[in-house]
Structure 1
Amino acid sequence: MTARWPENWAALVSGAECDFCQGMGQDRNEYGARIFQGQYIDAYLQSAVVQTGYSLSIWKGRHVVEPVELTDEEAAGYWLETLRVARAVIAIYQPLKLNYETLGNTSPHLHTHLLPRYTEDPRPGQPFPFPAPRHPEPQIPEQDFLAQVQALRDLLS
């Protein structure tokens, strides 16, 4: 069987059915908690145990799929705020490497995955193996998660 793009791909790309646009501005959602609220991005620490410190930087202006759709000023703001969050993730978690992944293949709204890589890594030197969709990841214990959220918020304020 050949994998296909979702039936509603055009609606996702247009923004009509964009999960990011519809859920923007929440302090907490089913995936994580907001750690930074900037002019250009909102950033969220992810609560699933994918990789400690895994965060998303999400464009918060109009619906945009590709970074090339931004004006020069918007692009500068997007990347500067994303790098600000990345510096905080590096400072708190001290990974060996931080990956910056701007994909949009599942959710076509401009966002960048900030994915720390550690000594105990499932695929050192290779792309990170995300779990298969439709398989929920185990969650970070709530008390630990909230402590990490607060540490990042404190550093980013």
Structure 2
Amino acid sequence: MIAPFPNWPADFVQRMDGRACACGSAPAPGDSDDRIRVYAGRVSDAYLMRHAAQRGYAVVAWKNGHAAEPADLAPGDADRYGREVLLVGTAVQRHFAALKINYLTLGNQTPHLHTNVVARYTDDVAPGALLDPVGAALPEEQWRADAAELRALLAPGSALVRHWDE
């Protein structure tokens, strides 16, 4: 088969419409060697990633079927997804004492709706530039401790969750 868009993978249209989505209908909710689920929301799950350029890289992934774009969602679902992304970003900013949080909803590699939440610091590895969030594996003990702290901040009924549920 000839790719309809020669500069894109041959199955990209099928990835976009869900027939060949690498995530299936959504990423598997469990932990793995490179991610720990820190939040289970109504419409998304959030993971703290181990392979990162610096501490504080999380991914919020849509979990209610396949969607490639935020605009694919019903308005109420899009609003809820946005709130859950902001909730996770707020928790990352608080726990890691980040100067700034970058929110990146891309999908050009994995077109299943997800948002990269990337902490930026005063002593950032690339101040003022886009940061490739994927890097070397962070030390496991620190990564697991960070995940535990984020889980506490994002626990059902926590003050932060109540704030974003208003």
**TM interval, short-chain normalised:** 0.7 to 0.9
Distance 2:46 2:111 in 1: 17
Q: Structure 1 residues 130, 78: CA separation in 2 closer, same or farther (over 3 Å shift)? A: closer
SS, match of residue 24 in structure 2: helix
Give the superposition deviation at 1:122.
Answer: 3.1
Which residue of the other structure, out of 3, 7, 24, is the alignment partner of 1:4? 7
Contact 2:102/2:120 (8 A) holds in 1: yes
Unaligned runs of 5+ in 2: 1-5, 156-166
**Correspondences of 1:25-44 after superposition (within 5 Å):** 25-44=28-47
Quote the residue 1:61 is aligned against: 64
The share of aligned pairs that are identical, in percent, is 35
Distance 1:55 1:130 in 2: 9
Which residue of the other structure, out of 76, 90, 95, is the alignment partner of 1:73? 76
Quote the residue 1:150 is aligned against: 148
CA-based RMSD: 1.8
Distance 1:6 1:121 in 2: 33
TM-score, normalised via structure 2 length: 0.82
AA of the residue aligned to 2:124: D
Distance 2:140 2:128 in 1: 31
Distance 1:143 1:8 in 2: 39
Does 90-99 or 21-30 show the bigger shift? 21-30
Contact 2:53/2:132 (8 A) holds in 1: no
Quote the residue 1:94 is aligned against: 97
Contact 1:95/1:118 (8 A) holds in 2: yes
SS, match of residue 120 in structure 1: coil
Contact 1:45/1:56 (8 A) holds in 2: yes
Contact 2:31/2:37 (8 A) holds in 1: yes
SS, match of residue 147 in structure 1: helix
Q: Structure 1 residues 85, 53: CA separation in 2 closer, same or farther (over 3 Å shift)? A: same
Distance 1:149 1:103 in 2: 24
Structure 1 residue 104 corresponds to structure 2 residue 107: yes
AA of the residue aligned to 1:109: H
Question: How many corresponding residue pairs?
Answer: 150
Give the superposition deviation at 1:26.
Answer: 2.5
